[in-house]
Amino acid sequence: MKTRLVTALLCLLMPALALAGEYDLTVDRVKIDTGDFVKEGIGYNGKSPGPVMRFKEGENVRINVTNNLDEMTSIHWHGLILPFEQDGVPGISYPGIKPGETFTYEFPIVQAGTYWFHSHSGFQEPDGAFGAIVIEPEGREPFRYDREYVVQLTDKHPHSGDRIMRNLKMMPDYYNRQQQTVGEFFSEASQNGLMDTIRDRMAWGDMRMMKADVEDVQGFTGMINGMGPEQNWTGLFEPGERIRLRFINSSAMTYFDVRIPGMEMTVVQADGNNVRPVNVDEFRIGVAETYDVIVRPKDAQAYTIFAESMGRSGYARATLAPEEGMAAPVPQMRDAARLTMADMSGMPGMDHGDMDHGDMAAQGDMDHSNMSEMDHSAMMAGTSDPFYAKGSGIAPTAANGGKFLSYADLKAQKPLYEEREPTREIELRLTGNMERYTWSINGVKYEDADPIRLKYGERVRFKFVNETMMTHPMHLHGMWSILDVGAGEWNPIKHTVSVQPGTTVYMETEVDAPGQWAFHCHLSYHAAAGMFRKVIVEGGPDSTQAKTEATTEVGGDA
């Protein structure tokens, strides 16, 4: 009888055991060859990017991470919904992984799609500590494809992350190689008139900023799947096949505008979630975002995957071809982007050098009531959407007048949550001081800020008001972000939301994950300089808040 009972229990457990997947990762010092330069970096299993980790929806995964570095490390599973103790943020989720130690992550896979993983310790991520995640769905996809490729973008710089941060603190425009020239002044004067040009330059001078302040860090080599433009990563195809390209932007600081000349792309996923298919010629992928597209090359020729930076200071390039060794022409980069007053919402009081809210209120230069009135509904009905402001100096237009993807084009394939009114609204002003290279939320840096406290079960509406001249990709860990594009229950579900200069963007969150979570700008040096918050979700089925705060308030890097 006892034997039969044990056998029966084992039979019941067999399906669960079969769903468990075990994986091993090592964190190592590696050499990174961009084709332009070779540098020491950090990678996984001996290389950067690390391996493509493949999971299945519904399985339980166990990942053994061994730290071969001489410093602490961590791994964050970007976009994955999991228990907060497994989220991998030192000082918030757990203490981190000591040198020589192995830490085992264990969590269920409750989603499908394209995601990625990276270190959340110091500047290990911009130094190469990242990799891709592909999760197969339990059921069938709502779209067809014959083969697939991960296309993981990054911006590799000759300098280490620590050195870049020191240089930015010393001189914020240290890496800005696209300063305005005397020739550009005379060209503008010829086109717009001398006095108007002088007044324009004086207005920018009053704000202590420059039209070229689009990217903080230039001088990088764009890479795809660990290969620079000259190394030319190549994915093979048979003419007529449908190819799924899983684009991941693992850059430290760079937004990329992506196109494949001669081929239309159909966007089918954003940040791992299915969207209604959108045919585009080009799309902008923010730092930490993912987009899945389907392409169908009909001819036996090579096609260039071309990703140029938003500031037009560099590019990544790869090839789709029927045979190895084939290549297609590489497009010329377009003219360098310039900010305009439209980007700053025409507010001359926007102070590039002194943007802390308290300082601006004292100066009286900025009317924050006007800033607050730039609400999403007005933007959608008028001249801009939450990402691409028409008439803006950094707003993209597709090459040859084609279709450029907008956030407003994204509609959920199937709603993840029932539509309901938010229980409250939280305003998060994205603030900074470029001259001191500090970045903050509501004028307060991370180390000086109180946590954002949420109640389990509520629905919170976050209002982002970008009071800076930079575009910020805001990432909330552990919970989905419902981006308000005016589509009601069909609003897209994302894990990273970009907020352009001088705009207001709304997102809503179902607070369904107890514990402690990170919430930050995903530009590496902005997060490190203070644009970061801890979120504490109180209550829930496993409410252990007192224990949580006591055990995780140790060490940790933002």
pLDDT in tens, 130-171: 999 999 999 999 999 999 999 999 999 999 999 999 999 887
| Amino acid 195: pLDDT | 66
What DSSP string describes 367-435? -HHHHHT--HHHHHHTTB-SS-BTT-TT----GGG--B--GGG--BSS-SS-----SEEEEEEEEEETT
pLDDT value at 18 more than 60:
no
Task: Write the CB contacts of 17 (distance below 8 Å, at least 6 apart in sequence).
Answer: none
| Amino acid 209: pLDDT | 53
Confidence band for 216, pLDDT divided at 50, 70 and 90? confident
- Give just the sign of the alpha carbon dihedral 139, 140, 143, 147: positive
> Rounded distance, CA 351 to CA 140, Å?
51
Confidence band for 401, pLDDT divided at 50, 70 and 90? confident
pLDDT value at 357 more than 50:
no
| Amino acid 171: pLDDT | 77
Which 3-state string (H, E, C) describes 125-136? CCCCCEEEEEEE
Give the residue among 375, 406, 379, 412 at the shortest CA–CA distance from 491: 412
**Highest mean pLDDT pick, 2-11, 59-68, 329-338:** 59-68
pLDDT value at 363 more than 50:
no
Task: Write the CB contacts of 548 (distance below 8 Å, at least 6 apart in sequence).
Answer: 84, 515, 516
pTM for this prediction: 0.84
**Which option is the CATH number for 345-393+415-558: 2.40.10.10, 2.30.29.30, 2.60.40.10, 2.60.40.420?**
2.60.40.420
- In DSSP terms, 218 is beta-bridged to none
Kindly state the average pLDDT of the residues 317-328: 97
Tokens in use for 435?
A: 């001259």
Give the residue among 472, 477, 554, 489 at the shortest CA–CA distance from 517: 477
Helix or strand holding residue 278 (H, E): strand 273-280
Give the model confidence (pLDDT) of 235-257 as tens digits: 999 999 999 999 999 999 999 99
Tokens in use for 358?
A: 């308290």
pLDDT value at 348 more than 60:
no
Task: Write the CB contacts of 557 (distance below 8 Å, at least 6 apart in sequence).
Answer: 72, 74, 90, 91, 96, 120, 121, 122
Between CA 545 and CA 550, with CA 547 as vertex, the angle to 5 degrees is: 105
pLDDT value at 367 more than 50:
no
* Cβ burial, residue 208 (10 Å; 0-12/13-18/19+): middle
Tokens in use for 203?
A: 């207005």
| Amino acid 503: pLDDT | 93
Give the model confidence (pLDDT) of 470-528 as tens digits: 899 999 999 999 999 999 999 999 999 999 998 999 999 999 999 999 999 999 999 99
Confidence band for 542, pLDDT divided at 50, 70 and 90? low
Choose between 369 and 412: higher pLDDT: 412
| Amino acid 340: pLDDT | 57
How is domain 144-178+214-338 classified at the CATH fold level?
Immunoglobulin-like (2.60.40)
> Rounded distance, CA 51 to CA 129, Å?
11
Confidence band for 370, pLDDT divided at 50, 70 and 90? very low
Q: Which amino acid is at 410?
A: L
> Rounded distance, CA 245 to CA 265, Å?
9
* Cβ burial, residue 203 (10 Å; 0-12/13-18/19+): middle
* Cβ burial, residue 160 (10 Å; 0-12/13-18/19+): middle
pLDDT value at 393 more than 60:
no
Please state, as a whole number, how many other Cβ atoms lie within 10 Å of the Cβ of residue 509: 23
- Give just the sign of the alpha carbon dihedral 87, 89, 93, 96: positive
3-state secondary structure of 351: coil
**Which option is the CATH number for 2-140: 2.40.50.140, 3.30.70.520, 3.90.1300.10, 2.60.40.420?**
2.60.40.420
Q: Any idea which residue has 């940040």 for tokens?
A: 271
Confidence band for 365, pLDDT divided at 50, 70 and 90? very low
Between CA 333 and CA 56, with CA 240 as vertex, the angle to 5 degrees is: 85
Give the residue among 206, 145, 253, 234 at the shortest CA–CA distance from 473: 253
| Amino acid 433: pLDDT | 84
Tokens in use for 53?
A: 């980790």
| Amino acid 188: pLDDT | 57
Give the residue among 290, 280, 322 at the shortest CA–CA distance from 303: 322
Q: Tell me if 324 sits within 8 A of 279, measured CB to CB.
A: no
| Amino acid 165: pLDDT | 92
> Radius of gyration of the chain from Cα atoms?
24
> Rounded distance, CA 15 to CA 507, Å?
38
Domain locations in the chain as residue ranges: 2-140, 144-178+214-338, 345-393+415-558
Q: Tell me if 425 sits within 8 A of 466, measured CB to CB.
A: no
Q: Which amino acid is at 551?
A: T
Kindly state the average pLDDT of the residues 347-365: 34
3-state secondary structure of 349: coil
| Amino acid 457: pLDDT | 96
| Amino acid 342: pLDDT | 54
Give the model confidence (pLDDT) of 259-312 as tens digits: 999 999 999 999 999 999 999 999 999 999 999 999 999 999 999 999 999 999
Q: Within 13 Å, how many C-alpha atoms sit on residue 236's CB side?
A: 4
User: Same fold for the domain at 2-140 and the one at 144-178+214-338?
Assistant: yes
Give the model confidence (pLDDT) of 414-461 as tens digits: 999 999 999 999 999 999 987 889 999 999 999 999 999 999 999 999
Give the model confidence (pLDDT) of 21-78 as tens digits: 899 999 999 999 999 999 999 999 999 999 999 999 999 999 999 999 999 999 999 9
| Amino acid 341: pLDDT | 54
- In DSSP terms, 27 is beta-bridged to 44, 67
Give the model confidence (pLDDT) of 171-214 as tens digits: 777 667 555 544 454 555 567 676 654 565 555 455 445 544 56
Tokens in use for 101?
A: 């130690």
pLDDT value at 369 more than 50:
no
Tokens in use for 148?
A: 């697939």
